[in-house]
Amino acid sequence: MNILDKIITDKRQELILKKEIFTVKMLEQIPFFERNTFSLTRKLQNSHSGIIAEFKRCSPSKSMINNTALVEDIAIGYENAGVCGISVLTDEIYFGGTLDDLITARQNCNLPILRKEFIIDELQIIEAKAFGADVILLIAAILTKAEIKRFSELAKSLNLEVLLEVHNEEELHKSLMPSLDMIGINNRDLKTFEVSLETSKTLSKLIPNNFLKVSESGISSVEAITDLQAYGYQGFLIGENFMKTENPGKSAKEFIKNIDR
């Protein structure tokens, strides 16, 4: 069993327990459920840098990245740095995140927030809206075409944008549909955790122009962004490169300043 299979197995067990505690009706009573959402797509389209900065404490590939950073400080720092949006990991077992991180980020910034999660159930999408997200991530590798359609259409009905993540041509072809806003190419193989920016370059020409292109993982230099922009990418998800530093917000600010030069 590879790491992705382990994550999904644990996620299914987590959801069984969660459904014993939470109902859709309960989530709909949370004040943030009725808020007007921010558009990440629009922010990226109007940005020169296209940075989506991530908050995460650890990952299966790198173990602990930053276990002292406070999500409220990071959210404020990233907003001051001029990022387009914030990605918040909410998986606890493998990434050290929680839904509390999501709602805390929402309370401390006015940026679009992406809930970074392994979504396999409608309840998680309702949760995303209730806890302050503006965008959800759907991962093609763990979903059928019918699930991608059902989940993305539910998200759109809640005024959430959808970032669909793919790793190869097969996943891309099965996933394209009108209820998606952005196509993210993950340069990290979720089964082996090997990283290559060539994945984004190779798949870029297969993404129709009506979807905004996002490159994810392994982006650690201004040169990488400039290179990928030539392939039509307008969004760049960066997490570890900022989070491994003492001051992620300051690191993001310096990074964006170098792009703008």
Which amino acid, one-letter code, is at 8? Answer: I
Instruction: Examine the residue annotation and report whether 171 is marked as an active-site residue of this protein.
Output: no
Say which of 49, 108, 152, 186 is annotated catalytic.
186
Instruction: Examine the residue annotation and report whether 47 is marked as an active-site residue of this protein.
Output: no
Instruction: Examine the residue annotation and report whether 14 is marked as an active-site residue of this protein.
Output: no
CB 135 within 8 A of CB 161: yes
Say which of 79, 161, 165, 240 is annotated catalytic.
165
Say which of 117, 161, 171, 216 is annotated catalytic.
216
CB 149 within 8 A of CB 121: no
Instruction: Examine the residue annotation and report whether 147 is marked as an active-site residue of this protein.
Output: no
Closest CA to 76 of 47, 106, 46, 103: 106
Say which of 116, 129, 213, 253 is annotated catalytic.
116
Say which of 152, 200, 215, 217 is annotated catalytic.
217
Instruction: Examine the residue annotation and report whether 198 is marked as an active-site residue of this protein.
Output: no
Instruction: Examine the residue annotation and report whether 19 is marked as an active-site residue of this protein.
Output: no
Six-digit token pair at 91?
């998986």
In a 10 Å sphere around its CB, with 0-12 CB exposed, 13-18 middle and 19+ buried, how is residue 1 labelled?
A: exposed
Closest CA to 56 of 40, 43, 69: 69
Instruction: Examine the residue annotation and report whether 49 is marked as an active-site residue of this protein.
Output: no
Say which of 11, 56, 129, 213 is annotated catalytic.
56
Say which of 11, 43, 47, 54 is annotated catalytic.
54
Closest CA to 217 of 244, 194, 186, 171: 186
The residues that are catalytic are 54, 56, 116, 165, 186, 216-217
